[in-house]
Structure 1
Amino acid sequence: MLPLTPPVQPMLAKPAKSIPNGAGLVFEPKWDGFRCLVFRDGDDVVLQSRSGKPLNRYFPEAATALLAALPDRVVLDGELVVDVDGRLDFDRLAERIHPAASRVTLLAEQTPSRFIAFDVLALGDDLLLETPGGRRRELLEGLLTVTDTVHLTPATTDADLARQWFTIFEGAGLDGVMGKPADGPYTPNKRTMLKFKHSRTADCVVAGLRWHKDTVPGEAVGSLMLGLYDDSGGLNHVGVVGSFPVARRRELAVELAELMPGGEDGHPWLADDPGEGTRLPGAISRWRTTEQPWVPLRLERVVEVSYEHTEGGYPSRFRHTAQFQRWRPDREPASCTYEQLEEPARYDLASVLRGDVRAR
């Protein structure tokens, strides 16, 4: 029996603004995938999600690949990713979570996953949680057999190199850079690591809102729905901005009430034909079985938000919830186009896995 059995909560990270010098950190790329702890005990392999749920049924090819790449008794921490054309694709990864076994089998062939290993928690009879991070890295390098689909994440103690990774690796779809204490233990469910993520700003049309779920509709805003115009003039739903303090939620309900009268009239997201490929809000998907209600607003307000990066091709959307920065009364809604979004230079995933910083 392994000295550590599932479920185990992984070590977590807290955000930091800049990559420091002389902080005693081991830096690694920040992968944009599903966190995955791997427990191998003989012929048995268990893939566990960050929340403690099993992932084997969704990624059978990963379990098979790890049997060939790992020693008989080991517990690893890592990430499951899917890449398309040399770039990570979170949408394709998310599609792998499907209830139909036949669909899972098909997707395992069409969009096979990769496992990126970045820590070891147990090896044989030895529990390694108290072992310093640098030593755990050495053990990980010695035990892993790298294959076409099982990889060892690059690592460095050089802050200058980590800053280059931060800039260049985004072109392959990565999130940023992680910093792990070189002398520190592995601390389940504690934010011991640091994460350095990309952040940008964009001016978006406020095209609608959702009421806060814990209040009566009309009392407090839950989130503002953001839109950007594409090349054809279509208004695309690109995400939401939320996380407002309680008092501010109530203020927004009063402030935006003036935009509700006439909000439905000619609203592009309510049109019978909104345009081919236009991203719309509240759509039914595998993640939700009912349409999410929202309130259309007259397209008169512009808000500046910060975002980390986008996903989904063109027209794209914000990968995570955006953060409110300020109102932009000086901007016209029609000026809120995709042209303002920064696109990182393309960079090949294989180069990331080698830790290669040369841009192509």
Structure 2
Amino acid sequence: MVLHVPEPMLAAPVAVLPAAGVAYEAKWDGYRCLLARHCDGRVELRSRRGTALAVAFCDIAAAAQRDLPEDGVLLDGELVVWHEGRLAFDRLQRRMNRTAASVVREIREAPAHFVAFDLLHLAGENLMPQPYLRRRERLERLFAEEGLKPPWTLCPMTLDRAEAERWVHEWAAADVGLEGIVAKKLDQPYRPGARAWSKLRIRHTTEAVIGGVTGTLTRPTGVLLGRFDASGRLRYVGRSTPLSAQADRQLVGQLEPAAADHPWHGRSFSAGWGSRETLSADLAEPDLVAEVSADTAVDAGRWRHPVRVLRVRADMVPQDAPLFGGE
């Protein structure tokens, strides 16, 4: 029997965790992945957008052939790499579109793990119509019966909201790359493509230098942010979400056009991670510091998701902001 790999079920952002009738799971900084071990021995790894990942993660594919039931299994989960004390998203990226020798080197230096959080198909039975709690029970039983060990990891789950909130505070303090909590209704079936789970991201406040804007210098709609590295060069670290009315007012009349020595002249800015769309941007003299709210997803010193500008820090000079690669 050939398993059909569906679109993944998705989560919508929330500001507060739902309080009743849900399970709380860790949200990982990795690649979302649906993994199928077919009855004929073939293994499929598919990203959220349907990209084939089995070549880049041939170590996980080989482990699936070796460890998972031969009568067919379909798992939903996350590919992660733990490196130097935290989750390392950049080490996942290094495997993509690389030579076989490069992938082998990455496997040796930074092996991947598959964190399983849902069981969608097992031994000819389609489990997606079943409620979440029943699927979770079957997933836990699969791990126990098959004796699954690394690279397989069972996603932590709790039914206790207070414990989930404690996880958020502990992970934020430890800064290990866990992104937050996903809440899933206990009685909910798996709905491919539906954004029907909830996610709460871990966020912290910090500062960065405004090096440019989207919109115009007189009517900015968002800001492009940078930090100085140890040599004094302004490095791009990310962009903001649309500015609030308060932040927009604070910037009116404060932005000066960039001088000829601005280090970002000639570069383009992506509209989003993995997107080829570029932003229309005006560069500004890097004189202003913004306090921002950011999540924990950081790649090589850059925020992967847009940050929220809280206010302009008129009491700070650019050198007061953390260095590139800092907090």
Cα distance, 1:265 vs structure 2: 3.6
What SS does structure 1 have at the residue aligned with 2:188? coil
- Residue 288 of structure 2 is matched in structure 1 by 301
1:193 equivalent in structure 2: 197
Change over 3 Å in CA distance of 1:281–1:318 after alignment to 2: farther
- Partners of 1:174 and 1:74 in 2: CA distance: 27
Name the residue aligned to 2:60: 62
Matches of 1:112 and 1:268, distance apart in 2: 36
Tell me the TM-score normalised to structure 2 length: 0.83
Q: Does 1:49 align with 2:47?
A: yes
| Rounded Cα–Cα distance in structure 1 between residues aligned with 2:319 and 2:52 | 46
Match of 1:148 in 2: 150
The answer on whether the counterparts of 1:69 and 1:147 sit within 8 Å (CA) in structure 2 is no
Over 3 Å counting, the alpha-carbon distance change for 1:65 and 1:169 in structure 2 is farther
Aligned counterparts of 2:256 and 2:142: Cα–Cα separation in 1:
61
Instruction: Tell me how far apart the structure 1 counterparts of residues 83 and 236 of structure 2 sit (CA, whole Å).
Output: 24
Query: How far off is 1:330 after superposition?
Result: 4.4
TM-score by length of 1: 0.76
Q: Percent identity?
A: 34
- 1:76 and 1:331 map into 2 onto residues whose CA distance is 49
Contact 1:71 1:143 in 2 (8 A): no
CA distance in 2, matches of 1:242, 1:194: 20
The 2-side partners of 1:335 and 1:281 are apart by: 26
Q: Which residue in 1 is equivalent to 2:307?
A: 322
Cα 1:99–1:290 change in 2 (3 A) is farther
Bigger fraction of residues in strand: 2
1:267 partner amino acid: H
C-alpha separation between the residues in 2 aligned to 1:242 and 1:164? 28
Cα shift readout 1:108-146 (whole Å, capped 9, x = no counterpart): 232221001100111122111110111101111112332
Deviations 1:82-128 (A, max 9, x none): 11134211111111112423322332232221001100111122111
CA shift in 2, pair 1:290/1:169, >3 Å: closer
Separation (CA, whole Å) in 2 of partners of 1:63 and 1:123: 17
Answering whether residue 144 of structure 2 is matched by residue 157 of structure 1, we say no
| Cα distance in structure 2, aligned partners of 1:179 and 1:209 | 35
Query: How far, CA to CA, are the matches of 2:31 and 2:311 in structure 1?
Result: 32
CA distance in 2: counterparts of 1:79 and 1:334, whole angstroms? 38
Contact in 2 for aligned 1:304/1:328 (Cα 8 Å): yes
Q: Name the CA shift for 1:267/1:119 in 2 (closer, same or farther; >3 Å).
A: same
Partner residue, 2:26 = 29
Output the amino acid matched with 2:88: D
- Seen in structure 2, the aligned counterparts of structure 1 residues 288 and 53 have a Cα distance that, compared at 3 Å, is closer
CA gap of 1:162–1:290, structure 2 versus 1, over 3 A, is: closer
Deviates more, 1:319-328 or 1:79-88: 319-328
Q: How far apart are 1:296 and its partner, in Å?
A: 3.1
Please list every run of 5 or more consecutive structure 2 residues that lacks an aligned counterpart in the other structure: none
